[in-house]
Structure 1
């Protein structure tokens, strides 16, 4: 790290500002030095002859010295004092200005929280290191280190604890780096490192990354709170193949390492990946999808599809689950597994979901009143304290009965902010909306959460149904979930039924609902309506409804 600081100094000296030269020139002010030098020479010249005369006249009563010479000496002494005082004042002022300039430079080039180099000074220092390694057997590796879910750390523990975590992690990373290493804080929770290594010893960098991950993962304790952070790391190197991977500068290496870091973040926590050219293509495609989502929401390209939900005992259609599809003019029909995570990351999932629910409520108004509509809700939406009010507004706007709507939330929602989830779920329940716990068995729900939260249904994850065999582990798990549902008086729905064998096993386990490709793939609104029309399960027009015996007839109204 010491050599890294010297590299920064060398990089900055090449770009010296005029103000720096002005301060340096002020220290060598020729006017003040000239006045002082002339005063000294004049004093020596005149004082050498005048001072003996003054002494003789003072002590032995000799002839008084020439008054003109005396005035010249006194003037000379004044000039000498003036020149010296001016030089001292100027020197002190230069020192104050230099300290101020040094402090300003530190603030401009150093991150005030962690003491690392910042976005302005880090890349030049890395570029200086890269150039110093040219022509040697050594290369430079650049690491981009990003803390996972740092916003959640801030939200749950406060910004002061967040600052403590950043400072602690920066110190741990700095301790892991070699003496020549460079550390910079590039963004809020992003750090960039540059380290040299021998060309044929890239595994040394892998070992260093493993050490950094272990160091960062250690708990951070402060103010009786403990936080455990994880990181995602991307790496890029200067080792080049002139045909496929030309030499790049530090900024380009940081960009490549950032792409690799994003690749690592998508695959879990405490992971790292080296940059590969195809990653850049993947990121470009991802950015194109993001732009397509932003344009597609107002253009109405996202539409609801409907998957049948069947009563397994009677085989009767009981409702539909709404699933999102993207009818993109460029990519065709896009699966939600592709666009939902991106919409969540760019904070558009609420807008997208509300548009889909609004359309689904309008479609479901034409169905038989006994059919229900199930809607999946993203964990991101449950962070919105106004979500319940927004959903109720959609119900009022459409005139759809709340009792026919079922909201499905996943187990992961219960671990982010259980208090906020409980408040939203209770608000929805009070309006008659039913709540299902989706993908049950894949998360970490506790029995106390199932007992205290007012769920109306459990949905067995499709992975357990796919493993359902006569004597396999999947059968035991499904039976355990169904038994738990019975104990808590919660009805159960099995997802992902695709074979007759799985259906037969589920029928033998009790009164369940089911859905899956065995009953058909999800269909758009028009196809669903045609299916219901063929089953005579569309809502009857008001004119065709039988009269309500509680209301007086037309003849009675006229008579009365």
Structure 2
């Protein structure tokens, strides 16, 4: 009798055994790497990886078994049944593919381990079909204990292999998965071989059509070469494709998709690298910050397609005039930055800026139209002004804002006084946060009147800041700061709460209109805040009108529409403020449920002297009437304005003709009058 496992020391070829182990290790690693791809992909790509994983995995199982069998050299004549040998290969590939498919059905759940168990069961089935293919002049007797144990080992380690890929707990689990598959193959094989005892029987002949060891060796080695070559090349191709994709994503992440220029991140990297590379104490770097002038007009008049064309051509022109040591990037909107390290005198840096300005201001031909933009340029120098990229960019921005104040196409170098102005804004921002707790803010009210009867029909709520040191700070000074640093949410809620609280205590239930900042409208919780304030103060929602600007809805119209509809459901009225100064369009009025349109004061001031202003106001009133939306004209300061607006059918007005904004004490005689009392205002005494 011959016990197969006990014959390893005497009847096996060690070279083939080592080859079997090597094939098992390499194939298992490839199979688990391919299975990891299956987990990370979907659709057709996932099916491709699944098929490849099944072929490589099944071939690994089959070749490991038969190489180990070829290493076994019993004293008895033996050969291999070709049909069962091929069938065992098909079983190995099919069961492995089926197991991987089951694991891919769901990202979580027991199917992960179930698929691995199917793969392990495939190892066992392949093994025993392969042993059926092994023909020898003797009988094969099986030990049921080892037989059962081999099947259990294959299933357990198979389930563990897929589990370590699908449920990793550390970064080393990918190695544990390969080890588990190696153990599934080897423990199953050697335990299964331990179950076999060969009893020689010369009466059992070998069939004539059996494959000898030599032919079997050629077949196995050919499959090994094809399997490992196919698996390795597939993995290498995928790895290369991944690297190419990573490089492409990196390129996209560092470049502006519209102009193709480097973006803010790329500029930051380049500037930092340039600073680090300056070993010469006399070396200089100039950082330039550009902002296009009149670009908003191009967008407003000709549309965003024209604006995009302008940005692309400006970027192309600046790129063409760059020299050695010069770099340009687009960092957002109509903002560009550039740097040069190819200079030693400030005049050289100015010349670089002037060269770029000359390209920017050239006329741009677009669809038969000539478009013109200008620019404002701020510049900071390394190491004179700052030594870090962040400080250089910040100082160039400060200088650019100073250049904008000086007029189009101006170039300004940074100086320390600009920091003083920025510091002053920072101090104002800090004071503003304390202003609420110190009761420095106060609400003023401006009349809104009927153009026919001059009766008061409501008040617009305006915010005033009584600073203990600076005195009265104009809203134009502190509102932009609040919007920039995010304090506008807290400030806006204080205004709304205070206005509702004060109005709720009036005897005469006059309506109030409160401005809403774009940042407030962008807040998904804003309708809930409004509802809570109305409930807490007791003000009727019908008395509250919220004024929003077009800039508050243009960034994300669907979100803005959703917020406005929620506000309307509360019973609050919505007015479009400053109509005509932004992106006004018929579609905006059609899509948004406005209860009022407020024409900006800039148009009202010129209705008697400027034909364009008069035409804009007239067309707005006609359009609003056709949509059944009331119109209120702001900035009414003269009777000539009133005469024009009455003729054109504008029913509501607001302006200094009826009175300047006043604190609550100034309108107490109106709001505390008996309900229903008409309070006409003929003309401002101011």
- Cα distance per residue 1:53-112 (max 9 Å; x no partner): xxxxxxxxxxxxxxxxxxxxxxxxxxxxxxxxxxxxxxxxxxxxxxxxxxxxxxxxxx99
Matched, 1:195 2:348: no
Structure 2 SS opposite 1:517 = coil
Residue 318 of structure 1 and its aligned partner are, at CA, apart by 0.8
| 2:176 alignment partner in structure 1 | none
**TM, length-normalised to structure 2:** 0.49
**CA, structure 1 residues 271+536, in 2 after alignment: closer, same or farther (shift >3 Å)?**
farther
**CA, structure 1 residues 523+115, in 2 after alignment: closer, same or farther (shift >3 Å)?**
closer
Residue 273 of structure 1 and its aligned partner are, at CA, apart by 4.2
Matched, 1:507 2:646: yes
| 2:430 alignment partner in structure 1 | 291
Distance 1:112 1:511 in 2: 48
| 1:367 alignment partner in structure 2 | 506
Structure 1 SS opposite 2:657 = helix
| 1:358 alignment partner in structure 2 | 497
Matched, 1:143 2:295: no
* Partners of 1:320 and 1:374 within 8 A in 2: yes
Q: 1:131 aligns with which of 279, 282, 290?
A: 282
**TM, length-normalised to structure 1:** 0.59
Distance 1:170 1:129 in 2: 31
Matched, 1:178 2:323: yes
Q: 2:380 aligns with which of 227, 232, 236?
A: 236
Distance 1:493 1:124 in 2: 59
Structure 2 SS opposite 1:439 = strand
* Partners of 1:458 and 1:493 within 8 A in 2: yes
Residue 415 of structure 1 and its aligned partner are, at CA, apart by 1.4
Matched, 1:432 2:571: yes
Distance 2:409 2:484 in 1: 19
Output the aligned Cα RMSD: 4.4
| 1:337 alignment partner in structure 2 | 476
* Partners of 1:457 and 1:492 within 8 A in 2: yes
Distance 1:331 1:391 in 2: 32
Distance 2:376 2:630 in 1: 41
| 1:205 alignment partner in structure 2 | 352
Gaps of at least 5 residues in structure 1 are: 1-110, 134-139, 149-168, 218-229, 239-245, 540-560
Kindly report which structure 2 residues correspond to 1:240-319, keeping only aligned pairs within 5 A, or say none: 250=387, 256-261=395-400, 263=402, 273-276=412-415, 278-319=417-458
* Partners of 2:440 and 2:466 within 8 A in 1: yes
| 1:518 alignment partner in structure 2 | 657
* Partners of 1:414 and 1:445 within 8 A in 2: no
Matched, 1:382 2:534: no
Distance 1:473 1:112 in 2: 41
- Cα distance per residue 1:293-346 (max 9 Å; x no partner): 122233332221111101111111111000111111121121211111110000
Structure 2 SS opposite 1:385 = coil
**CA, structure 1 residues 185+454, in 2 after alignment: closer, same or farther (shift >3 Å)?**
closer
* Partners of 2:635 and 2:656 within 8 A in 1: yes
Residue 236 of structure 1 and its aligned partner are, at CA, apart by 2.8
* Larger mean Cα displacement after TM superposition, 414-423 or 262-271: 262-271
Structure 2 SS opposite 1:131 = coil
Residue 142 of structure 1 and its aligned partner are, at CA, apart by 3.0
* Partners of 1:411 and 1:438 within 8 A in 2: yes
Distance 2:276 2:513 in 1: 55
| 1:495 alignment partner in structure 2 | 634
* Larger mean Cα displacement after TM superposition, 428-437 or 178-187: 178-187
Distance 1:368 1:513 in 2: 23
| 1:158 alignment partner in structure 2 | none
Residue 233 of structure 1 and its aligned partner are, at CA, apart by 5.1
* Partners of 1:470 and 1:505 within 8 A in 2: no
Residue 185 of structure 1 and its aligned partner are, at CA, apart by 12
**CA, structure 1 residues 113+250, in 2 after alignment: closer, same or farther (shift >3 Å)?**
closer
Aligned residues: 387
Distance 2:418 2:394 in 1: 12
* Partners of 1:311 and 1:513 within 8 A in 2: yes
* Partners of 1:117 and 1:184 within 8 A in 2: no
Gaps of at least 5 residues in structure 2 are: 1-262, 294-313, 365-373, 678-686
Matched, 1:472 2:472: no
Residue 350 of structure 1 and its aligned partner are, at CA, apart by 0.9
| 2:141 alignment partner in structure 1 | none
Distance 2:268 2:462 in 1: 47
**CA, structure 1 residues 388+473, in 2 after alignment: closer, same or farther (shift >3 Å)?**
same
